[in-house]
Structure 1
Amino acid sequence: MFLRRASILSGAIALALFQSSAAGALDSTPAAKVVVTPLASTTVTANGQPITLPQKNVQVLVSSFEIPPGASLPVHMHPSARYAYVLEGQLQVTNAETGKSTSYKKGDFIVEMIGAWHQGANVGAEPVKLLVIDQVEEGTANTLLKK
């Protein structure tokens, strides 16, 4: 699954490349060849929903998650867009409404479900490490727990 609206990720990559090339210019070392590998491009979530973003006062939240082997997250949902990049491990995400599960491994990019109850679990032998990016209306949370 590929992500067309990866402007946040693209911006971070561009900033990193700019900082890298600026540092190289300062010490007058020849710049190394930059390799850009597209990771994702899509217009829908993991659940097949169209990706929608907050219409005003957008806030970007970036977090790292570490989920130990055998651990599960509580059943939850996201009211706004959430993206995750799997840095390590194997994550299984199950839609609590349909029972359908999808597995993700190191190097996978996840466009999480919006407004659908789901649960993630580490099904591997090593910790799952995620880089998570949320786009929310300023001052709001992007995770609601099922009661």
Structure 2
Amino acid sequence: MRIFILTAFSLGMANTVLAQSPVSVEQVLRSNLTIAEQAILLPSGPVEVSASIFTIQPGASLPVHRHAFPRYGYVLEGTLTVNNLETGKTSSFKTGEFVIESLSKWHSGANPGTVPLRLLVIDQAPAGAQTTEVKK
């Protein structure tokens, strides 16, 4: 009981200190589903995390592809349109929005805007695994 009270007090103090600091936290998204409404399951065993910034010029699109492992994107600038060829669903994401890509579903991403799209992409996969398969 004493440990519980001490922990609760410590957490309360941490929140108070954070509230009084120049740091703020804004949740962008919380989800357990991909944009294709699939449950997010992490790979088992050792996992490698990689982060990349994609820059896609206005009017350009990525080839049709799919991902076997979780992939997340955060739109730094511009607009991303994702067309899922299997579900027929098209989703758009603007600056400041987060996307949890579909798993093992053929899709394509495009920049329909007039400014370059900058997209932070984060992959979680077994070490050395190929994270994207391009449709032939």
TM-score, L = length of structure 2: 0.83
In the alignment, is residue 101 of structure 1 matched against residue 90 of structure 2? Answer: yes
Of 96, 104, 116, 2:105 maps to 116
**Deviation for aligned residue 1:75:** 0.3
Which residue pairs with 2:40 in the alignment? 51
CA–CA separation in structure 2 for the residues paired with 1:105 and 1:93:
12
Which residue pairs with 2:131 in the alignment? 142
Q: Secondary structure at the match of 1:65?
A: strand
Structure 1 stretches of 5 or more lacking a match?
1-30
Which residue pairs with 2:116 in the alignment? 127
Segments of 4+ moved more than 4 angstroms: none
Larger radius of gyration: 2
Total equivalences in the alignment: 117
Which residue pairs with 1:68 in the alignment? 57
Which residue pairs with 1:91 in the alignment? 80
C-alpha RMSD of matched pairs (Å): 1.1
Which residue pairs with 1:37 in the alignment? 26
CA–CA separation in structure 1 for the residues paired with 2:80 and 2:73:
11
Structure 2 stretches of 5 or more lacking a match?
1-19
Residue identity matched to 1:47 = A
**Deviation for aligned residue 1:97:** 1.3
**Deviation for aligned residue 1:33:** 1.3
Pick which of 120-129 and 31-40 moved more: 31-40
CA–CA separation in structure 1 for the residues paired with 2:41 and 2:27:
22
CA–CA separation in structure 1 for the residues paired with 2:79 and 2:52:
18
